Amino acid sequence: MAEMHQVAVLGGGSFGTVVANIVASNGHSTKLWLRNLELAEHINQTRENSEYLPGYHLAPSLEATNDLVQAVSSADIVFVAVPSQSFRQVARDIAPYIKPSAAAISTTKGLEPGDFRLMSQILAEELPNNTLGVLSGPNLAKEIAAGHLTGTVIASQDEALNVTIQQLMQSPSFRVYGSSDMYGVELGGALKNIYAIMAGLGAALELGQNTIGMLITRSLTEMSRFAVEEGANPLTFLGLSGVGDLIGTCSSPLSRNYRVGFALGKGQALDDIIDELGQVAEGINTLKLVKQEADKRGVYMPLVNGLYDMLYNRKTVSEILDGLMLAQQSHDVGFALPEN
């Protein structure tokens, strides 16, 4: 018989809700923490998170709460699914209450505003005694809610934690793969948000599938080139958390970052788009931080530079594409193995 767990999911947005529901549906005691008391009570009464996932029925055993201490203190597994700008504060708030034996797992695909910090690095700083992991992949919450077949990656340096999360979340429509490359898996999830904006922009401007295919492929090259500088394994980007997440996010209007790009391509101002979206599009913050870090490390990222110039230096899409096409010719695959 599979081991039963006490699980807390921190963050009542769309992805936090589906993670909590998967776990609860597998029979584990699960608490979903969110700040909004009224919404928590509504979820408990109606079995639906009407604000983020209307129409998605939640398991009867899933308990929503706005009491952070209650959610965390009895848990042996804690998923942190809050936006990057509030991630450190939430990690700091739970530090006195989380059990030292509990595992803390980030599902947030972003970087800490103001500094180049991955969510796993924040967890290591704020929860130094806990086992850590990262969950990432092509995981659009609305598709998971609709029962579409979905794969994700749990990455931890503790193989036992990987196995535990695989058993915890496995279902007929949700499959979990393991990895030891936390930085690679996490960077794949964070970086692809930048290129999803670019893909949405390209779709709005009807650039054509040849162009979109080139942009996505060169995006993957940029992502892996940057990640290697941060200590990741470039081969990680051939998996679900790299190319899988990139393709899924760059081809779906369900992606918030894709929608930002599409609206930009239709002429809307960035501030207006963010106001209308109503949820966090992590790619905007990530773009600024990656641009700064790449410049500091001397990493060649023409697509990042081009999108940054378009958003903040008033360059046109034509200028960005001209810069890409007229740049010095280079190899197609940067980390291909040499021929014998």
Nearest-5° angle of CA 326, CA 244, CA 206? 45
Residues 255 and 312 in one domain: yes
Question: Domain containing 219: what range?
Answer: 192-326
The residue from 180, 200, 233 where one domain ends is 180
The residue from 159, 180, 201 where one domain ends is 180
44 within a domain of the structure (yes/no): yes
Whether 340 has a pLDDT exceeding 60, the answer reads: no
Residues 81 and 104 in one domain: yes
Whether 22 has a pLDDT exceeding 70, the answer reads: yes
Displacement of CA 20 from its chain's centroid (Å): 16
CATH number, domain containing residue 57: 3.40.50.720
Residues 301 and 157 in one domain: no
Residue range 286-326, pLDDT digits in tens: 999 999 999 999 999 989 999 999 888 877 777 776 766 66
339 within a domain of the structure (yes/no): no
186 within a domain of the structure (yes/no): no
Residues 90 and 227 in one domain: no
- Rounded Cα distance between 176 and 168, Å, is 9
CATH number, domain containing residue 241: 1.10.1040.10
Closest CA to 18 of 164, 199, 150, 183: 150
pLDDT at position 256 is: 87
225 within a domain of the structure (yes/no): yes
What stretches of the chain show up as alpha helix (H) in DSSP?
14-25, 37-46, 68-73, 84-94, 119-126, 141-145, 159-169, 182-204, 209-229, 245-250, 256-265, 270-277, 282-297, 302-312, 317-326
Q: Evaluate whether 254 touches 143 at the Cβ level (below 8 Å).
A: yes
pLDDT bracket for residue 280 (50, 70, 90): low
Residue range 40-85, pLDDT digits in tens: 999 999 999 999 999 999 999 999 999 999 999 999 999 999 999 9
Whether 173 has a pLDDT exceeding 80, the answer reads: yes
Catalytic-residue membership of 192: yes
pLDDT at position 314 is: 79
Q: What is the pTM of this model?
A: 0.90
Whether 337 has a pLDDT exceeding 60, the answer reads: no
Residues 174 and 241 in one domain: no
Residues 157 and 196 in one domain: no
Q: Exactly one of 109, 192, 288, 291 is catalytic; which is it?
A: 192
270 within a domain of the structure (yes/no): yes
Question: Which CB contacts under 8 angstroms, 24+ apart, belong to 335-338?
Answer: 335/224, 335/228, 335/234, 335/235
pLDDT at position 214 is: 85
Nearest-5° angle of CA 145, CA 10, CA 285? 85
200 within a domain of the structure (yes/no): yes
Residue range 188-238, pLDDT digits in tens: 999 999 999 989 988 898 888 888 888 889 899 999 999 999 889 999 999
Residues 129 and 250 in one domain: no
The residue from 157, 180, 203 where one domain ends is 180
Mean pLDDT confidence for 16-40? 97
Query: How many structural domains comprise the chain?
Result: 2
- Provide the token pair at 267: 């002429």
185 within a domain of the structure (yes/no): no
Most distant pair of Cα atoms in the chain: their distance: 65
Residues 80 and 155 in one domain: yes
What is the residue-averaged pLDDT of the chain? 91
Residue range 174-183, pLDDT digits in tens: 999 999 999 9
Residues 198 and 236 in one domain: yes
Closest CA to 199 of 243, 249, 241: 249
Residue range 96-147, pLDDT digits in tens: 999 999 999 999 999 998 888 999 999 999 999 999 999 999 999 999 999 9
Residues 148 and 50 in one domain: yes
pLDDT at position 140 is: 92
pLDDT at position 339 is: 45
Mean pLDDT confidence for 153-171? 97
pLDDT at position 328 is: 60
Residues 129 and 231 in one domain: no
pLDDT at position 176 is: 98
Residues 130 and 271 in one domain: no
1 within a domain of the structure (yes/no): no
